Structure 1
């Protein structure tokens, strides 16, 4: 009888120990699951709320003219709920940034008046702490022919002979695109409408006039250290040119222009013997665009005044070319 009681007690103890062990494992598994879920929740929260982001400023023009409207937009690479923006500006001779007044949200709009002006965008979080800040961009103002009366007169073709000076081919060095394709696709219609508002022809008549002027099949010109390359119908032709003086021309309206002439120094396949530049500039100065005449007869080229293929920097898009033409 005593042996039976002993065995029953041992069995009960064993069952109790197993039950406790199972309970401990269950508790441990439950705690582990809870902790894992908490960790995952924290991770998800971190992913939903980035600690920082990159800001890119878009819309910067290659250059502006005095009085143009500068329009910039700040673009974030992350989706966030913050919308507290400030724009800051700093002139080239200043060391401290100042808040650009009147600029709200992720866009900046201001009249171009200061060359070298730096602009940056800053986004703040809900605690008014800096969340992200862009790299500064620099506003370049290039009025090309100036705004003083003498420069305007020269641009219009009124100057004295003694003001004209020799120019190096480096004044036109760079990679240039023909403006003619922009006329053909309608991009320049805005320019012709603007001319019609101030001129004596309709927009259609201006377009026809410039169609004759701009027409060319040389879509790109690269000038580098005295070497000139024409890109024409998918082919490239190159030659070296040297300075051959200038000629002053008088037009029917009474104004004048200067042709700066360069001659082929060595025979080169498919390259003209002469190229002549006209860009409303009469002394050494880097050109922003130009009209070009080419052929094998120097004197005959000087008589060409109706077809003047025109070239702008190849890195300008249609908007940049339009902005430049509207400024003149």
Structure 2
């Protein structure tokens, strides 16, 4: 009897263990199935919503109307495809509305070439597989067009120095606010040679080398960076010094030029006792009334009359965010 009871209990234990093992295997199999389904779902989502793993190289800070736009699509991951299309979206359109994007003809490689025509236009590169399904795309990039002084008759007339006295006005220092870099180093390292070449082509008396020598005098400065706020200047010198002072407007002067046109220079005088900063800062940027500056010539020193009379030395500054190519593009547009 005892032997029978022992065998009975042993059988029950074996059945329980076997059942537990079988149950565990079923749970494990179900888990693997779920993982496989999730993985498949992830793959399908990647196909339906391509990863934005395409970077756009070559985009300028801004363009001028009619400039050539040259861009390159660069993959951040290795893919075996090379079938590209470029798309543009009109200004103020929703980039999430795929129907609003228009394919750009004759641009089916990773390089794009086009013309700047509309400020705020967006552009996107898309990579397709052999079944013409999108496998990667770029984040939409915005094309910024800034013609600075305008393209209408009045703007051109003023830019060339032909204006009426009642068109001139005092300007706040905030018109020049920003972080600016000297173009002198770019002249010295040869990056502005293209600009000098164009000047020579448009001049019967001076060569490219003549212009380089002329602008070595004009641009020379040891102030490599200028930061301007609503009421102050900070100079950054080549030797590492950094000096700030406050300034206030002292109006403007209208100067007559030998060619018969005029120039307006806006004058600011130091309003605190900071040492090692010039008493006067005088701007010329081709604007004659309130408008944000895009570059400027800066005359600074102690003698206001001498600075107003200066014609050959005018350190010139462009936004610090521009590289050499960006500065060249801006200079050639004027």
Question: Do both proteins adopt the same fold according to a TM-score greater than 0.5, normalized to the shorter chain?
Answer: yes
List aligned pairs for 1:129-208, cutoff 5 A: 129-200=133-204, 201-208=206-213
Structure 1 residue 62 and structure 2 residue 61: aligned? yes
Larger Rg over CA atoms: 1
> Structure 2 CA distance, aligned partners of 1:93 and 1:239?
42
> Structure 2 CA distance, aligned partners of 1:192 and 1:105?
34
SS at match of 1:102: coil
Q: In the superposition, relative to structure 1, how do residues 84 and 273 fare at CA in structure 2: closer, same or farther (>3 Å)?
A: same
List aligned pairs for 1:162-311, cutoff 5 A: 162-200=166-204, 201-232=206-237, 233-311=239-317
> Structure 2 CA distance, aligned partners of 1:320 and 1:146?
19
User: Is the contact between residue 278 and residue 290 of structure 1 (CA under 8 Å) also seen in structure 2?
Assistant: yes
> Structure 2 CA distance, aligned partners of 1:99 and 1:276?
49
- Following superposition, the deviation at residue 54 of structure 1 comes to 0.5
Question: Taking structure 2 as the reference length, what is the TM-score of the superposition?
Answer: 0.81
> Structure 2 CA distance, aligned partners of 1:292 and 1:53?
44
User: Is the contact between residue 53 and residue 131 of structure 1 (CA under 8 Å) also seen in structure 2?
Assistant: no
- Following superposition, the deviation at residue 79 of structure 1 comes to 1.4
Structure 1 alignment gaps of length 5 or more: 1-45
> Structure 1 CA distance, aligned partners of 2:135 and 2:218?
53
> Structure 2 CA distance, aligned partners of 1:306 and 1:248?
17
> Structure 1 CA distance, aligned partners of 2:155 and 2:122?
28
> Structure 2 CA distance, aligned partners of 1:152 and 1:210?
24
The aligned counterpart of 2:80 is 81
The aligned counterpart of 1:90 is 89
Partner of residue 129 from structure 2, selected from 122, 125, 145: 125
Runs of 4+ in 1 over 2 A off after TM superposition: 50-53
User: Is the contact between residue 91 and residue 118 of structure 2 (CA under 8 Å) also seen in structure 1?
Assistant: no
> Structure 2 CA distance, aligned partners of 1:281 and 1:319?
24
- Following superposition, the deviation at residue 93 of structure 1 comes to 3.5
User: Is the contact between residue 84 and residue 125 of structure 1 (CA under 8 Å) also seen in structure 2?
Assistant: yes
User: Is the contact between residue 53 and residue 77 of structure 1 (CA under 8 Å) also seen in structure 2?
Assistant: no
- Following superposition, the deviation at residue 94 of structure 1 comes to 3.4
Give CA deviations for 1:98-139 in whole Å, capped at 9, x if unaligned. 111221111111011111110001111222211111111111
User: Is the contact between residue 53 and residue 78 of structure 1 (CA under 8 Å) also seen in structure 2?
Assistant: no
> Structure 2 CA distance, aligned partners of 1:113 and 1:319?
20
| Further displaced range: 52-61 or 128-137 | 52-61
> Structure 2 CA distance, aligned partners of 1:64 and 1:53?
25
SS at match of 1:175: strand
- Following superposition, the deviation at residue 53 of structure 1 comes to 6.3
- Following superposition, the deviation at residue 304 of structure 1 comes to 0.9
> Structure 1 CA distance, aligned partners of 2:274 and 2:51?
58
User: Is the contact between residue 174 and residue 224 of structure 1 (CA under 8 Å) also seen in structure 2?
Assistant: yes
SS at match of 2:250: strand
SS at match of 1:54: strand
The aligned counterpart of 2:14 is none
